[in-house]
Each structure stands twice: as structure tokens, then as C-alpha cells.
Amino acid sequence: MRAPRRPFRSARALTPTARVRRLRRRITVLFALTSAAGLVAMAVLAVRSDGVRWREQLDQAMSADTNWALGLLETDEDGRLDTEVLLDNAGTACPPLFLLSVPAAPGEPSMTPAPGELVVEHAPRRPCLTLPAGAVRQAAATAVRADEPRSRDARTADGEPVRMFALPFYPPDAEEDAAPQGALVTVADASAQRADHRRLTWVVSSGCALLVLLSAGVGHLLSGRAVRPALEALDRQESFLADAAHDLRTPAASLRTLAETALRGETDSTDVHRRTLRLAEGMGTLVDGLLTRARLMAGTAVLAVEPLRLDQLVEAVVEDAAGEGQRVAVRAEEAAVVVADPDLVRRAVANLVGNALVHGHLPGEPAEVEVTVDSDGATTTVTVEDAGPGLPPEVAGALFDRFRSGSGSTGLGLSIASWVAHAHGGSLTAEPGRRGGARFVLRLPAGGPATEG
């Protein structure tokens, strides 16, 4: 039998949230790589510049020494080198100074010599830096062939780093195109400079590594800020879908049951129509509440603020909401004017009153709700107090979240009222009432929200 294939998880199988998080990781990596490339380029440039700098400093010092020694070099009547003045006036042991000449018969043009053909006219007996003879000859031959000063890195017999400098010299009264007669070679210890260079390289490399890690962290934070709106939008979308599925499942099932009952002819058609109308109105209210909450959470609900008589609005809401057997008392201060969105404030007040009528009474007793409108000039307050069982302690801390307003309710009403209050720069609080029930206090600034929208 053929083994079952494993499911292939492609990019399309990822959830939108997972895609956004993967995008954040890619942005972080890209930010870190870009920073690393720039830092590495600058580090390489700094290390190379330091290497060139300390070599140039040694070359300048050795050039000054060889030019001073060249001024002490003389020739006799036969054109042969005379090093007596040089040896008497210059200490050639430290730094070591070597004198090499090109073997050529007087009056004959000098041929380009090989390193082994150069004659060592002078070498210090006890130099402070011991170099292989071949290295000194190679440096002198290079300067003679190039017909200009040359420097190079080398190592002593003990393996210590040194810098060599070779300066070609010419016979007295030589013509411009005359070949060099030989070369002066001097050596300088480069241990300290190389140690400083290695130290700089280590510091720069460590600094680059730390900066790359820091840039990765900063990139992770910045990418998190960049994708946060997308994640919040996805969360709001999932929340909206969950609310819609939760709220519409029960009335949809009721409609289906009612339709099946009507088809079987078990109930009166008038009663079916009446119940269908109530369910349709309830579903419409739910959909309207869901859309309002989604727009408020997404920040797309623009406040159409205008001067509003809050006392008249509350009286109209109570008149529409109060049913048979329910007692709602309104104590409103006249001319309680606020600058607010009439539709949103009406919905918030209606949700508070409706919540009190549904949950603010004991079983079997009519609802008794008291609504008060007060204003102190700066803030207008709408207080809705009932005589019900009060607020359960387990839901008091999350009363304005969805699905938390009480038994049998989805919690969208109080959640929307809280959003409306905060959108206008106000607040909505819940506290125990004087009659043992719950008291909800909606506060709105009289001058309207600080910024519209």
C-alpha cells in the first residue's frame, strides 16, 4: 500500500495573523542585514585606514633616517663607497642600517641586479633586529629596480613583525638617467603598531557585532509598531466575526424552528407572523449593534457632533423603551446641552436603559428604573439606576467587554455605550445603586470631544 502523503503547508495555508508575524520577522532580518552591511563596510574601511596610517608613519620616520645617513655617505677618487664618515657619526645597530651596492665596472652601465648580486658594503654587527640576509637583499633589489624608495612588511628571525625601507642612491655628479649605485636599507620594529592595530580590529569588530544586535532589536520593535495596526485590524475582524456568529446563531435557529413549525401547521399563522416579526426586529437590532461596534473599534465611525439637548433625548429614549408593567422615572435638568453625535448618544442611552429594563429587576417583579440627567456646566451626566439584584462580583471587572453584561445578553449594549462615551472624551462607570441594584453613570463633556472623529 502506498503511504499517505503528508499535508503540504504552503504560504497559502498560513493564517493572516501568521503571515503578518512572518512579515515582521522578515522586516527585522532585512533591517539587521542592511545595518550589518553598512557597519561591516565602515569597519573594513576603518581597519584598512588604520593599517595604512601606521605604515605611513613608520615609513616617514625611516625615510628621514635613511636620507640623513645618505648625506654622510661619501665616495673616494676611484668612485668607490667610503663609509667611514657614516660609521663614525651614525649608530647603525638600532635601528639597523644596511648599505648595499650594485657591482659594476666604472664607466660601464649598471644592469638590473638580482638580489644575490648585490654587495653588502655594511651591515651592523649586533643589530637590535636580526633579519635574514635574503630579506635585506630583496628589499634593496626592489628599490634599485624601481629606481625609487620602497617599503615592505617583513619578520625577524624570531618571527617578530618589522617594517623595511630601502632608499636607492646614485654616484656623485650622476646624470638624470643614471642607474642607482646601491641602496640604503633600514628596519623598524612594528610590534607595538601591529598590537594596536589588532586591538582596534577587535574593538571595531565587537562594536559592529553589538550594533548589529542592537539594530536587530530596534528593527524588531519598529517592525512590531509597523504591523501592529494590521494585527489589531485582524483582531477586530475576528472579534466581529465571532460576535456575529454568536449573536445570530440563536435567532437564526429560532427562525428555522418557527418555519418548520409553520410548515407542519402546528401553530396559528398570525402567531407565527408575530413571532417572526419579533425575531426579525431582534436580528436587525443585533446586526445594527454589531456594525456600530465594529465601526467604533476600527475608528471609522466619524462623529457628526452638534449641539444636543440631552434631557430631551433621554426623555424620548425612555418613552420608546418603556413597556407595559415597567416603571421608568426621569429626572432631567432643563437645558442640559452637550456637543455630541445624536445618533451615537441615543444608542448609548438606549442600551443603558434597555439593559436596566432587562436585568434590573428581580424575577417575577416589574422593572423599576430611575434615569437622572445633571449638568455642572463642564460635564453632563446621565445616571441609570435600577432596583435589581446588582452587579455580580465575577463580571464587575469586565462589565463593558463583549459577552459580559449579564445572563442572557451578549454584552454588546454596554460595550457600545462605553465606546461612545470614550469617543466623545467621556466615561462610563458602573457602581452599586442606592436601592441594591446597579447604577451606570455616563459622563459627557459639555464642550464636545477634544478632537472629532
Residue range 52-103, pLDDT digits in tens: 999 999 999 999 988 988 888 877 766 677 777 887 777 778 888 999 888 8
Residue tagged 446588582 (cell numbers): 390
Residues 438/360, Cβ–Cβ less than 8 Å: yes
Q: 412-423 and 342-359 helices cross at what angle (nearest 10)? A: 150
d(Cα 279, Cα 352) in Å, to the nearest integer? 21
**Neighbouring-strand partners of residue 438:** 432
Rounded Cα gap, residues 332 and 427, in angstroms: 19
C-alpha 88 chain-centroid distance: 71
What pLDDT does 55 receive?
93
Query: Exposed e or buried b for every residue in 59-79, given b needs 16+ CB within 10 A?
Result: beebeebbeebeeebeeeeee
Please identify every stretch of the chain with a pLDDT value under 70, giving residue numbers as ranges. 1-13, 77-79, 104-113, 115-116, 174, 240, 243, 246-247, 250, 266-268, 282, 285-286, 289-290, 292-294, 296-302, 322-325, 392-412, 450-453
CA pair distance 163, 155, nearest whole angstrom: 8
Name the packing angle between helices 191-264 and 16-71 (round to 10°): 170
pLDDT at residue number 354: 84
Residue pLDDT, tens place only, 99-136: 988 886 544 544 566 766 788 888 888 888 888 878 99
Q: Distance between CA atoms of 168 and 159, rounded to whole angstroms? A: 27
pLDDT of residue 398: 57
